[in-house]
Structure 1
């Protein structure tokens, strides 16, 4: 028996035969079969792996011409029988579907053409988007910007203006411009004006010029650590009206830059070559809270009278300098003062008189041999006292009268004797906070010579660190 298969295009094309047969089966199994009882096999149509054919004999063609239907076969086995009416129903339906799919294909081609034209005419990639990052735990930076960092710009009339571009070699990610470790000799141009953090550390920048930060009115933090900066223009920071953090450490500055932004909160300028702090250098910095200027060759004579006038900072570190005594006229508002790694030899009565707000005092790694009686009485709120790695021969006087003192570091000194009342007051109710840290190790004193009552105001015995003394 002869068969006409899909590839002969006798009725349908090879491409469209299988979906048409599936459609025929769907229709006949739902409505046509119920009306006409046309199907000879009612099984669900499988995936076709062999051609679907119909009998190409004279009798079959005659039956089709007279409207008696058409037999479909697969692999020589009868598959389905349809008369002219059912074929007409199915074919008319498929015709509509095919026309619709053809129109859809044309629409897809048009859309692809439009996309191709858009890509062909597009400008180079430009970084867009915003990111509210927070440096501070108190969310200060989040408060600088109203609402979320994702801002919606209202449409305006006029030509399209391209967004900000990223400086060559830098990485720009949502208002953070990362230009570190690039060997730059100058501040790059074309920095996006909405930048919040500009990181220029680990480069070879030698000078900060007047227009280096123009248009950066929203800049929050500027990192210039580990460059070769020796000169800063007096008007370089004038555009930075919202700058809170300025990191200038590890450069070649010989003086603190003038005209710092009034909005500045934190200044880190340690490990430079600054030898002098002139008068009124910090004038107008009412928001300043933290200054780190350690690692500079500063001597006591380098602080001009009135150098810190007007400042109400909480934190000051002048460690690793050349100080031989506590500097005069430091801000009276200090909560933390760190003078470690200097050459201080004594603490005199007047040195700490104005610092009644101090809660932490760092005097470790000096050459202190003497602390005048009554010097510590001017620090009623002190919580931590660091006097380790000095040359003290005894426990400083006045510790029992410090109601809130909780941590005392006295290790690595020359203390030879510890008295029963060196740490705790005699009466009850005087001490408001018990000690939870006393270090006395590496001193020439035997712990078995110390009376147990010496540490009666300590939380527990593990809070006292004695250890053995080794010459």
Structure 2
């Protein structure tokens, strides 16, 4: 459940222009506050003692201008040009978003071995020292979005499970950029000028991630050799022209695929057979002229977006298998609106494996 909430918050936070991250909400999401409270519970405390505890929660050696409370150091919106010195060693979360920091130096986070979350969003960071994140074995959240990075930072902490580096200037992903990151749940790299030629062979070697998003980039094809562990892949708002069999052959566990807002003209027959566990496919706002082949073989597919294409006809077996029992899950959403198909000519049996008429979004052809 927590992972689902994490994905939802990730999608909400990714929006232009920069939207401030609610640090306290993230702390609740990851139970950090509760964990901290559990370490200080005393059943015999009186109300007076509770008041004293509240006073103790404020950190007296807080960096100048920052606010510090319960091992959280908040230094956002201060116009800082560098990371503050003398951050308490027991800090678990640092908020440095919306400043003017240009560089992360080797010793900026030295001795912060308990750090769980680090937010450097919306600064002017163009350089990060290769040893800046050393000894951060407990770091789980690393947000570097809305900066001026031109490459993936070196020696990223291995135990991070959410890494956000979208809205930078990254045009190349070097070989081994994410080496050893086997705990990564979410990797958000959208809104970087990444082309297929900028992804070096072996860029994703020796890593595992569940959610990967490279939207709003310069991709003209589905990248090769992405992590085989993927359960969600989002490549929206690129210039991908087609989907071939070899594009999806590695991703047997994929459950959600986002290819909306591309230039896809066709999906090669057999491509979708490589993702048998898929539950949601977004192919809206493309250049498709017919329903992609193979949809009727996907037993678990529930949501399918095909609106805003050039589909002119729909066959009775495009979506559903000939034998109803082979479909494990019914469709809960099929969108076909804004296509030149005459929806009143579609045979009712075409949607025999849908959960009901409310699952269908048809409508007549809308002019673009």
CA distance in 2, matches of 1:190, 1:151: 28
Any idea what the Cα deviations from partners look like across 1:420-444, whole Å, max 9, x if unmatched?
1111111231111100100001111
2:21 is matched with which residue?
none
Matched, 1:277 2:173: yes
Change (3 A) 1:390 1:415: same
CA distance in 1, matches of 2:192, 2:324: 46
1:37 is matched with which residue?
none
Kept after mapping to 1: 8 A contact 2:333/2:360: yes
Any idea what the Cα deviations from partners look like across 1:31-77, whole Å, max 9, x if unmatched?
xxxxxxxxxxxxxxxxxxxxxxxxxxxxxxxxxxxxxxxxxxxxxxx
SS in 2 for 1:429: helix
Q: Deviation of residue 147 (structure 1)?
A: 7.8
Gaps of 5+ in 1: 1-131, 153-162
Matched, 1:250 2:140: no
Change (3 A) 1:290 1:393: same
2:285 is matched with which residue?
389
1:458 is matched with which residue?
354
Any idea what the Cα deviations from partners look like across 1:144-184, whole Å, max 9, x if unmatched?
x68824289xxxxxxxxxx7511111111111111111110
Kept after mapping to 1: 8 A contact 2:324/2:353: no
1:337 to 211, 228, 233: 233
CA distance in 2, matches of 1:318, 1:135: 26
Matched, 1:325 2:216: no
Matched, 1:148 2:44: no
Kept after mapping to 2: 8 A contact 1:328/1:351: yes
Which is worse superposed, 180-189 or 163-172? Answer: 163-172
CA distance in 2, matches of 1:424, 1:316: 29
Please report the TM-score for the alignment, with normalisation by the length of structure 2. 0.86
RMSD (CA atoms):
2.0
Counting only pairs closer than 5 Å after superposition, residues 211-222 of structure 1 correspond to structure 2 as 211-222=107-118
CA distance in 1, matches of 2:68, 2:30: 25
Matched, 1:417 2:313: yes
Counting only pairs closer than 5 Å after superposition, residues 396-435 of structure 1 correspond to structure 2 as 396-435=292-331
Q: Deviation of residue 135 (structure 1)?
A: 3.6
CA distance in 2, matches of 1:418, 1:191: 62
Change (3 A) 1:334 1:367: same
Gaps of 5+ in 2: 1-23, 43-58
CA distance in 1, matches of 2:60, 2:111: 12
Any idea what the Cα deviations from partners look like across 1:346-367, whole Å, max 9, x if unmatched?
0011110110100000000000
1:51 is matched with which residue?
none
1:182 is matched with which residue?
78
Kept after mapping to 2: 8 A contact 1:164/1:192: no
CA distance in 1, matches of 2:265, 2:128: 41
Change (3 A) 1:275 1:396: same
SS in 2 for 1:301: helix
SS in 1 for 2:246: coil
2:100 to 182, 204, 229: 204
Matched, 1:232 2:117: no
Please report the TM-score for the alignment, with normalisation by the length of structure 1. 0.67
Counting only pairs closer than 5 Å after superposition, residues 52-451 of structure 1 correspond to structure 2 as 135=27, 137=29, 139=31, 141=32, 148-150=38-40, 165-451=61-347
* Higher RCO by CA contacts (8 Å cutoff, separation 6 or greater): 2
Q: Deviation of residue 376 (structure 1)?
A: 0.3
Q: Deviation of residue 194 (structure 1)?
A: 1.4
SS in 2 for 1:198: strand
Q: Deviation of residue 282 (structure 1)?
A: 1.2
CA distance in 1, matches of 2:346, 2:221: 32
Kept after mapping to 2: 8 A contact 1:164/1:193: no
SS in 2 for 1:327: coil
Change (3 A) 1:394 1:431: same
Q: Deviation of residue 213 (structure 1)?
A: 0.6
Figure out how many residues of one structure are paired with residues of the other and give that number: 329
